[in-house]
Amino acid sequence: MVIDSIPMVVGMAYAIIATLMIVVLLRRGKFNKRVGYVFLVVSTLFGFLVFAPMLPYQFQTIILGNTKQLGAPVALAVVVLVAFVVLAFMFGKAFCGYVCPIGTLQELIYHIPTKKVRIKNKVFPVAFRFVFFVAFIVVALVSSVGLLKYLGVRDFFYLDVSSAFFYVFLALLIISPFLYRPFCRFLCPYGVLLSLAAIKSRFKLRRNENCIDCKKCGEVCPTNEAGRTDLKQECYLCNRCKYVCPVDGIDYTGKEVSVQQKA
Ligand code: SF4
Ligand code: SF4
């Protein structure tokens, strides 16, 4: 279904505009479930129609030096990849949350009401993804092979059902109603960079002085990042914590409320 005549820069421009809009809406407290769904659906459609902004795949293409496949000038693609790491450093993972089609498709599927599997150990997914990241880089540099191909990212969004790799990505989607974002949390090489940047992001979802420590946010957070001191490196800004809070105790803010201040 990907329309090759639409240049990828269209997807990249969408990514920048959408990410900045999301940040502004979050800052102004105007982001809600309905707005979130609109971004999730539009971004997913971009994936199927333009195969952009597929930044994990573009990251792989650049590592491989396969500039022909890029569909955009190399310098522009590098600037965009770096720009989104900088944006994650400032505003958290808004791109992953609502703009990357790979992430948005998994996020939409996770909304299917089923029993959810929560991995309590926070280190395991991060460590697994880091090991995959190292393997991804080594295999790309040594053998010029892009592992994302074998995960079916391109074949799935191109709806190439004749490719065996299509079914690898399909399998990841089949577990996505139960397990939150398996690709993002366990495999995405570009997500490693965005997560590292998000650790130090200025703006995050933070508990404010209204918080009564009811722990409801922690119960709904699929990545165990809702705690007061959590780094939010795996926070996808899904807002589940904010929506469930009974006292409006969470803000998307650059200001930390210290525990003493709260007490
Ligand atoms: S972690 Fe990777 S695949 Fe998931 S949303 Fe972020 S960039 Fe996309
Ligand atoms: S529930 Fe809150 S802390 Fe957890 S991932 Fe979603 S937005 Fe981030």
Distance from residue 103's CA to the centre of ligand 1 (Å): 5
| C-beta 183 within 6 A of ligand 1 | yes
pLDDT surpasses 80 at 71:
no
Do 119 and 164 share a domain, yes or no?
yes
Res. 260 pLDDT band, cuts 50 70 90:
low
pLDDT surpasses 60 at 174:
yes
Question: Average pLDDT, stretch 83-99?
Answer: 98
Confidence (pLDDT) at 230:
95
DSSP label at residue 208: -
Ligand 2 binding pocket, CB closer than 6 Å: 205, 220-221, 223, 225-226, 235-241
CB atoms within 10 A of CB 128: 13
Res. 66 pLDDT band, cuts 50 70 90:
confident
Backbone dihedral region of 204: left (phi > 0), alpha (psi from -120 to 50 degrees) or beta? Answer: beta
Question: Average pLDDT, stretch 214-234?
Answer: 96
Confidence (pLDDT) at 259:
54
Give the residue among 7, 2, 16 at the shortest CA–CA distance from 72: 7
pLDDT surpasses 60 at 81:
yes
Residue 250: beta bridge partners? 207
Residue 3 within any structural domain of the chain: no
Confidence (pLDDT) at 88:
98
Confidence (pLDDT) at 258:
63
The CATH number of residue 258's host domain is 3.30.70.20
| C-beta 100 within 6 A of ligand 1 | yes
pLDDT surpasses 60 at 109:
yes
Ligand nearest to the CA of 157: 1
Closest CA to ligand 2's atom 2: 241
Residue 2 within any structural domain of the chain: no
CA angle (5 as vertex; 42, 97 as ends), nearest 5: 25
pLDDT surpasses 50 at 136:
yes
Q: What is the mean pLDDT of the chain?
A: 94
Total structural domains in the chain? Answer: 2
Res. 256 pLDDT band, cuts 50 70 90:
confident
Among candidate residues 149, 184, 199, the one where a domain is terminated: 199
Using DSSP's 3-state secondary structure scheme, residue 178 falls into: coil
Do 229 and 110 share a domain, yes or no?
no
Question: Average pLDDT, stretch 182-202?
Answer: 98
Do 172 and 111 share a domain, yes or no?
yes
Using DSSP's 3-state secondary structure scheme, residue 107 falls into: helix
Closest CA to ligand 2's atom 3: 226
Res. 195 pLDDT band, cuts 50 70 90:
very high
Confidence (pLDDT) at 54:
93
Residues contacting residue 252 through CB under 8 Å, at least 6 positions apart: 26, 27, 29, 31, 203, 204, 205, 206, 237, 242
Res. 47 pLDDT band, cuts 50 70 90:
very high
Among candidate residues 179, 199, 219, the one where a domain is terminated: 199
Confidence (pLDDT) at 263:
40
Question: Average pLDDT, stretch 50-54?
Answer: 92
pLDDT surpasses 70 at 262:
no
CA angle (199 as vertex; 194, 203 as ends), nearest 5: 95
Question: Average pLDDT, stretch 95-100?
Answer: 98
Res. 72 pLDDT band, cuts 50 70 90:
confident
Residue 228 within any structural domain of the chain: yes
pLDDT digits (tens, 9 = 90+) for 139-172: 999 999 999 999 999 999 999 999 999 999 999 9
Give the residue numbers spanning the domain of 138.
8-199
Confidence (pLDDT) at 255:
82
Do 152 and 216 share a domain, yes or no?
no
Do 73 and 189 share a domain, yes or no?
yes
Confidence (pLDDT) at 125:
97
